Structure formats: C-alpha cells, structure tokens
C-alpha cells in the first residue's frame, strides 16, 4: 500500500512545491460550466438527417451550487419544450449540487407544472457512485478539456468560454452570474 511514484522537476534535495498561479485581475475565482448532451433530437425544419445530438452549455461565475443548478434545469426545460421533447431523461452523477433538497424540490415542481401545461418533464436517472464512464457527457468533457487547456497561463473567462464553445461545437448561451 505504498504511495504511487510520481515524476516531477524539483531541485535536488528540495521538496516539490506546487504553486497555483494567480488569475487575471477582475476575473472570478471560479467558473462552472453546466452542460447537457441531448441525444436523438428530432430533425430541425428542412434538415436532411433523421436525428441529431445537441450540447447545451451554460457558464456561471463561481462554484456549482443548488440555486444555479435549478436555474439551469429551468433553462433546459424551456429549451426542451421549445424543441418538442417529452420527456427529457437526465443522466446525473452524485454531485452534491445535483442531489440537494433544493434541486429535487425544483425538479418536482417543474414536473408538476409540465404535467399540467404539457411541457417537458425532466426525469433524473441517477448513476451509481463513482461511475462517471456511464454518463455519456463525460467523454465530451474529457476531450473538450484537452482541446481547450493552455498550460502556460490561465485563460480569461471570455477566452475560456469561447474555446469551450468552439471545441465542443455548442451554441453560445448567455453567461450567468451568481446572485449576491
């Protein structure tokens, strides 16, 4: 049960020190990217293919929290209703901001309204703990990160957003800020 061996550059006889570089001035300390990979969409008007996949992304200043997750769910529910999707099956991991009471209550409320008005129900499909390979969007995140990263410097919020949208081929959505 020994610690794994790691190779790193350090001065002989001195311990390795990892230093987190400071971000650009005026930028948020954290940036969260919410995303949904929607598979098998009905063809758009005039399209020649039978179905398509779509990636819906939304960036938020700060960490992912329940309040922002519920806003993202409402946004996705509105988009899904506009596309004629019923229901939207949502494959989700066990992140705390996915399973919180506030998010579960918001999902129940959304689904009650969708049932009454004919909108899109969002059906969560919870993954087993520590099984990200079962979530279809995880491969998209992994490959996207590799295409976006720049090890020499930290990117500004705007640069990072533009690179992610371009790398993943997603349509640009408005940036959200956390309520204060």
Tell me which residue range forms the domain holding 142. Answer: 31-43+51-168
Give 154-173 pLDDT, tens digit per residue: 888 899 999 999 998 888 88
Tell me, yes or no, whether 155 lies in a domain: yes
Tell me, yes or no, whether 2 lies in a domain: no
Tell me, yes or no, whether 10 lies in a domain: no
- Token code pair at residue 49: 């293919």
The DSSP annotation for 120-162 comes to: --EEEEEPPTT-GGGSTHHHHHHHHHHHH--TTSPPPHHHHHH
Tell me, yes or no, whether 157 lies in a domain: yes
Owner of token pair 């081929």: 169
Q: Where is average pLDDT lowest: 12-21, 28-37, 75-84?
A: 12-21
What's the pTM?
0.74
pLDDT at 123: 92
What percent of the chain is helix, strand and coil (3-state, nearest 5)?
35, 20, 45
Pairing outcome for strands 88-92 and 52-61? unpaired
Tell me, yes or no, whether 125 lies in a domain: yes
Tell me, yes or no, whether 122 lies in a domain: yes
Q: Report the share of the chain in percent with pLDDT over 90.
A: 17
State the Rg of the chain over Cα: 20
pLDDT band at 110 (very low <50, low <70, confident <90, very high): very high
Tell me, yes or no, whether 8 lies in a domain: no
Tell me, yes or no, whether 16 lies in a domain: no
pLDDT at 2: 52
* Mean pLDDT, residues 8-25: 72
Q: What is the CATH number of the domain that holds 133?
A: 3.30.420.10
Q: Is the pLDDT of residue 150 over 90?
A: no
Q: How many domains does the chain fold into?
A: 1
pLDDT at 31: 87
């Amino acid at each position: 049960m020994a610690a794994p061996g790691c190779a790193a550059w350090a001065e002989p006889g001195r311990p390795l020190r990892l230093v987190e570089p400071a971000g650009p001035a005026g930028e948020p300390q954290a940036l969260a990217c919410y995303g949904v990979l929607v598979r098998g969409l009905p063809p758009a008007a005039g399209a020649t293919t039978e179905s398509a996949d779509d990636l819906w992304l939304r960036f938020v200043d700060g960490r992912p929290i329940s309040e922002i997750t519920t806003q993202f769910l409402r946004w996705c529910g509105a988009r899904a209703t506009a596309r004629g999707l019923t229901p939207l099956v949502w494959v989700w991991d066990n992140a705390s901001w996915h399973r919180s009471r506030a998010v579960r209550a918001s999902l129940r409320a959304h689904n009650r309204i969708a049932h009454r008005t004919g909108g899109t129900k969002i059906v969560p499909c919870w993954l087993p703990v520590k099984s990200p390979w079962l979530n279809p969007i995880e491969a998209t995140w992994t490959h996207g990160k590799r295409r976006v990263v720049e090890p020499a410097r930290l990117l500004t919020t705007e640069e990072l957003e533009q690179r992610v949208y371009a790398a993943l081929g997603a349509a640009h959505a408005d940036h959200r800020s956390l309520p204060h």
